[in-house]
Amino acid sequence: MWLFRFLVLLCFTFLLLPSAQGWSKEGHVLTCQIAQELLNPEATEAVQALLPESAGGNLSAMCVWADQIRRWSKYRWTSPLHYINTPDNACSFLYKRDCHNTAAQLNMCVAGAIRNFTTQLTAFPKQGPDAKNNLTEALLFLSHFVGDIHQPLHVGFTSDEGGNTIELRWYRHKSNLHHVWDREIILTALADYYDKDTGLLLEDLQRNLTHGIWSDNVPTWERCVNVNSCINNWAEESIKLACTWAYEGVEAGMTLSEDYFDSRLPIVMERLAKGGVRLAMLLNRVFSENPKGGFGSSI
């Protein structure tokens, strides 16, 4: 029961945090809201069973949990699970080459984390509610890390720590390139187009998924035969977008504003949508009671 008392306390802590945070809040919340709307009945029931009562049945209420606890001594080991460092300018991802921490431990990256927690959650259909204590954290980590792997600079270059050391200005204030993609682009879009209302932005994303610009792409986004290969492909997408859109034309000390914002905003919005669709796909599959509907031996 300690875990659920801890999660309850953490939920109340979230309510006291400032609302202006980045992909660690708005982006992750949007990703999880999109995903929850796409869950099938089996996955909905499983998610409801695993969420702490304080979440009120809302997965997005817990999708920033992994960021909040990563610096706590108990969870410090999870810090490298939020990203992937790739060789500078390689613009590619290779699991055996890139998925490790600074101590060269394999699987210690966001792609490895998604593999691990997806595998853990496949136990739920067999164990049911009795597995709750063991699998709640797996659900929260998976929901967060699927968001992380879709942020292009969470699969970035080693030397600049995914753009974290590239200091620059975003319009009139100091920032860095990673922060621009984590937070600034989303917050600027909210201010410019949605009256700072994430609900309106969510409606726009969902509209484009159901009968808008992405509706024809959704079946392709959620197609997955072997989960490990799919996760590798998501990481490969991100590093290629990082090279083509995030790093392109950027130098330390410069000011990024309208031109950068206007051209990169569609990329950020599509990545949020893809992350939501793919998180729903994973949860629908791992919680499937039909062996043919799940991943089976592919993980």
Whether 73 is covered by a domain: the verdict is yes
In sequence order, the 6+-apart residues with CB closer than 8 A to the CB of 216 are none
Residue whose token pair is 């992937």: 84
Would you say residue 59 lies in a domain? yes
> Where in the sequence is the domain holding 102, given as residue range(s)?
2-7+20-157+171-290
Domain assignment present for 12: no
> Where residue 54 sits, what CATH number does that domain have?
1.10.575.10
- Between residues 178 and 13, which one has the greater pLDDT? 178
- CB-CB contact of 140 with 67 (8 Å): no
Cα distance between residue 230 and residue 135, in whole Å:
22
What's phi and psi for 256, nearest 5 deg?
Answer: -105, 135
Residue 296 forms part of a structural domain: no
Decide if 277 is inside a domain: yes
Q: State the pLDDT confidence band at 112, using cuts at 50, 70 and 90.
A: very high
Do the domain assignments include residue 186?
Answer: yes
Spatial distance between the Cα atoms of 30 and 127, rounded to a whole number of angstroms: 30
Total domains, the chain: 1
* Burial category of 82 from C-beta neighbours within 10 Å (exposed 0-12, middle 13-18, buried 19 and up): buried
Residue at 299 is within a domain:
no
Whether 245 has a pLDDT exceeding 80, the answer reads: yes
Q: Is the pLDDT of residue 294 over 70?
A: no
Of residues 161 and 298, more confidence is placed in 161
Secondary structure (3-state) at 85: strand
Question: Do the domain assignments include residue 163?
Answer: no
Asked if 58 and 11 count as a contact pair (C-beta separation under 8 A), the reply is: no
Task: Judge if pTM exceeds 0.75.
Answer: yes
Q: What digits encode the pLDDT tens for the residues 151-176?
A: 999 999 999 999 999 999 999 999 99
Is pLDDT of 20 > 50? no
